[in-house]
Amino acid sequence: MASNPILPVTSNPIQSLEPRGQPARSGSQVSTGELGQTFTRLFDEVNRLQGEADRKIEEFATAPDKDIHGTMIALQKADLSLRLMMQIRAKLTAAYQDVMRMQL
């Protein structure tokens, strides 16, 4: 039985969000357009997972052969992705409020 190796933790977690084949840039070089594109991809992925969960629920309710495992997995993926997005929103809102409270 082959086992998967444990990968090391990288020092730059944002690196995983970079498009494949392009080197990671430092935080000061990331433009707001790229940040906006990252969030657009995040929202699109959450929306896709929500749609997939809806389709699985409809399929479970109407199909003769029930796939409860696939339905529950799709629901959990959609729930987890939505919760993650809400946590990111909360962190960004808190960071924005911290910046706005700073005195010059």
27 Rama sector, left if φ>0, alpha if ψ -120 to 50, beta otherwise: alpha
Instruction: Give the predicted TM-score (pTM) of the model.
Output: 0.62
Inter-CA distances, 56 with 40, 64, 68, 74, 102, Å? 24, 13, 9, 7, 47
Question: What is the arithmetic mean of pLDDT over 48-54?
Answer: 95
Q: How confident is residue 13, by pLDDT bands cut at 50, 70 and 90?
A: very low
